[in-house]
Structure 1
Amino acid sequence: MGKRILVSPLNWGLGHATRCLPIIRSLVNQGNKVIIAADGGALSFLQKAMPELEFIKLPGFNATYSKRNSQALKIAISTPRALRDFSNEHQQLDTIVKDYNIEAIISDNRFGCWNKNVKSVFITHQLHISIPKLWRWTAPIVNSINYSYIKHYDELWIPDAEGNINLAGALSHPANLPIKTSYIGYLSRFYADSLPNNEKDIDYLVILSGPEPQRTILEKIIIKQAYTIKEKIVILRAMPDCLNMIKDLPDNVTTFNHVDDEMFVNLVSSARNIICRGGYSSLMDLIRLNRSAFLIPTPGQTEQEYLSQYLFKKGLFGYCRQKDFNFKNVAIPQINLRSIYNDESDNINTFLERWCKTI
């Protein structure tokens, strides 16, 4: 008999929702009743991806980013509100567990989504929090707080490989792990054979993502520079709730607020060059589709800065800082990522089948 499982992704961009999608699909295909608790763009994305499921609006901590390159002060100021929001979502979750007879919880980076009476799982690839150099003295405190919240959960799932050939480096491979941990491999909503062999008729595919205002800042940089070149540019805005389109675009630019998976893979296949943030979920999708890209990490988002530089130094992806971006300097390694990363999309199905038997 199937289990009643609540899945709750964080609403910071769409990445947490997209990487939960293969977990949700697998659980449903195995006969479980999956209920989604989310808010904002994450909720909208999953409602469009799997409209047949039951959805609950569960507000969570919504980070706001500075227009400056450093986010440390902004994050420090918002910490009291974050702690309050974690407590509020935990109280709301207790009610949801009772009202919906939840038997297990899978929380993707939502610190308050656990319940002492049901099996609770926390998903993250950040066990070692990357701290800006000026604030590095706070690292022991920050990592201690991170672990203190994770310890409320019964299990920790890390979407990465356990061995030396991995995607997140030091972020996902700390010296000590806080609770029972499983490295579950890369999570992508795509399949390894889902990329068609299209004609390359798009010069630059720009995949925007992440929180405001930095998403819009990069979008404006891209559009401003598009006036200086003739090449064809397609921009995916990552705004599933937005109904308005950008006005007064250069003739060589096409924008989409949001596209479904089929159109996304067709655009990726048609692009000579891909430009995107250094978000972890985007990187997992690109590995699954065997496409490298030019990474522009969100300024001050130390996780993305670490990942982008880490993969650039390995010669796997291109990279530059946002303030240095210029189309003329875009250089992407021509490399077979599948020959480096052992990415088996069926691994998660086997893992979840075993896990469901423990509920």
Structure 2
Amino acid sequence: MKKNILICPLNWGLGHATRCVPIIRTLLDLGHDVIIAADKSPLAFLQKEFPDLKFIKLPGFEPTYSKGNSQVFKLLKSIPDALINFKKEHKAIEKIVDDYNIDLIISDNRFGCWSKKVRSIYITHQLHIQVPKSLKWTYPIVNLFHKTYINKYDELWIPDVEGEPSLSGKLSHPADVKIKTQYIGFLSRFTSEIKDDIKIFEYLVILSGPEPQRTIFEDIIIKQAHEVEGNIAIFRAKPELDATPDDEPSNVYYFNHVDDVMFRKIVSKSRRIVCRGGYSSLMDLININRNAYLVPTPGQTEQEYLAEYLTEKGLFNYCKQKDFKLKNVMIPKIDLKNQFKIKDVLEDILKEI
């Protein structure tokens, strides 16, 4: 029987939206109706990917980030606003469930997108949130807070493999929550390797994440463009924009948004890839059998941990943003294969509702 499925990606950058793409595609292939509740860049991105679907604008909490290397105090100050937003979000979800006869909710890291009326699933790879060493004492408090919200859901999906080698390391191992948990393999909109092609770009820079750090890193790339030989492609993660900057260096090519076909084409023609190292970007790279030079967003402990962990594994290289030099980018080989489980997981859950 056809079901109405509500998909709710977090609006902190594009990563949570991009990894919902394989879920949405699979649900549509299985013959179900998909409704998407999102805001800002994720909304714009998914509207371009799935123009025929029903969309609901669902504002979400959006923290403000500092221009410095530590985000902790900015985030702590935003907690009261976050709690208010989670309540508003939950109230809006309950209305959407009634108005659209929703049968199942799949929330990617949105705390308030659950309902007691229907089966609600929470997706995260960050079960154990990392904190700065100077604030190690806050670790149990932060993670208790997170798991309190996770446990409001009926089931937890972790986009990683359960055994080794895992992509998320201690971020999602072990799975110590009260609700049913499944490791569902890597979620990516790409399902096959990208074959090498004639290289026309020496560098591909994939920007992502919240402001102002997204723009700060973009400015660093532009300032260093004259120091390297070869062309530079920049994916700006700005699907809501039409125009690109008109004062770029002659060897820089801007792309506000690229669809899957264009993404694969430019990746195949790029010799070296530089990216933030957000988890969704890493899953995409694994699936196309490419690796990258990682430059974590300053103060984002998740990205900093992943960059260090995956460099130790020999899968990626990284450096801190303050030390970044485009001319020093070196890329190691990669050998980590995906396990696609999402179709089986979705079929099983839909049989139960």
Q: TM-score, normalised by structure 1?
A: 0.96
* Aligned-pair CA distance for 1:350: 1.6
Deviates more, 1:240-249 or 1:151-160: 240-249
Where does residue 83 of structure 2 map in the other structure? 83
User: Is 1:150 matched with 2:157?
Assistant: no
- For residues 282-329 of structure 1, the C-alpha deviation after alignment (integer angstroms, 9 at most, x for no partner) is 000000000010000000000000001100111110100001000221
> What does residue 323 of structure 2 align with?
324
Matches within 5 A, 1:177-326: 177-193=177-193, 195-326=194-325
Give 2:272's aligned amino acid.
Answer: N
Measure the CA separation in 1 of the matches of 2:174 and 2:300.
19
Q: How does 1:326-345 map to 2 (within 5 A)?
A: 326-335=325-334, 337=335, 340-341=336-337, 343-345=338-340
Partner of 1:351: 345
Further displaced range: 184-193 or 215-224: 184-193
Find the residue that maps to 1:263 and give its secondary structure: helix
> Retained in 2: the 8 A contact 1:106–1:123?
yes
Structure 2 SS opposite 1:88: helix
Counting aligned pairs with the same residue, the percent is 60
CA distance in 1, matches of 2:349, 2:176: 23
In the alignment, residue 267 of structure 1 is paired with which amino acid? I
- Structure 1 segments, 4+ long, off by >3 Å, are none
Offset of residue 175 of structure 1: 6.2
Match of 1:126 in 2: 126
Supply the distance in 2 between the matched residues of 1:288 and 1:148 (Cα, whole angstroms): 32
- Does 2:59 match 1:64? no
Give the residue type in structure 2 aligned to 1:54. K
Specify the SS of the correspondent of 1:221.
helix
2: CA distance between counterparts of 1:35 and 1:201?
A: 39
8 Å CA contact 1:8–1:110 kept in 2: the answer is yes
8 Å CA contact 2:127–2:175 kept in 1: the answer is: no
- Where 2:78 maps in the other structure, the secondary structure is helix
CA contact (8 A) 2:161 2:339 kept: no
The answer as to whether partners of 1:207 and 1:235 remain within 8 angstroms in 2 is: yes
Aligned partner letter, 2:348 = R
Is 1:98 matched with 2:98?
A: yes
Residue 31 (structure 1) aligned with residue 31 (structure 2): yes
Alignment partners' CA distance in 2, 1:273 and 1:259: 18
Once the 2 structures are TM-superposed, how far is the Cα of residue 39 of structure 1 from its aligned partner? Answer: 0.5
Name the CA distance, whole Å, in 2 between partners of 1:185 and 1:175.
14
Q: Tell me the CA shift for residue 354 of structure 1.
A: 1.3
Match of 1:16 in 2: 16
Cα deviation, residue 28, structure 1: 0.9
| In 1: Cα distance, 2:155 partner to 2:319 partner | 36
Unaligned runs of 5+ in 2: none
- Indicate the SS of the match to 1:227: helix
The CA distance in 1 between the partners of 2:52 and 2:248, in whole Å, is 37
Q: Structure 2: how far apart are the matches of 1:169 and 1:287?
A: 15
Query: CA deviation digits over 1:243-270, x for unaligned, max 9?
Result: 2311321111111111111000111111
- Whether contact under 8 Å (1:196, 1:266) holds in the other structure is no
Deviations 1:144-179 (A, max 9, x none): 000100111000000000012110000000362331
Partners of 1:268 and 1:202 in 2: CA distance: 9
Residue 7 of structure 1: how far off its partner (Å):
0.5
TM-score (structure 2 length as normaliser): 0.98
| RMSD of aligned alpha carbons | 1.0
SS state at 2:116 partner: coil
Offset of 1:37 from its aligned partner?
Answer: 0.5
Aligned to 1:51: 51
Q: Which residue pairs with 1:139 in the alignment?
A: 139
Q: Distance in 2 between matches of 1:334 and 1:113?
A: 39
The one-letter code matched in structure 2 to 1:220 is: D
Aligned counterparts of 1:267 and 1:154: Cα–Cα separation in 2? 40
Letter of the 2:290 counterpart: R
Letter in 2 for 1:263: M
Q: Count residues with an aligned counterpart.
A: 353
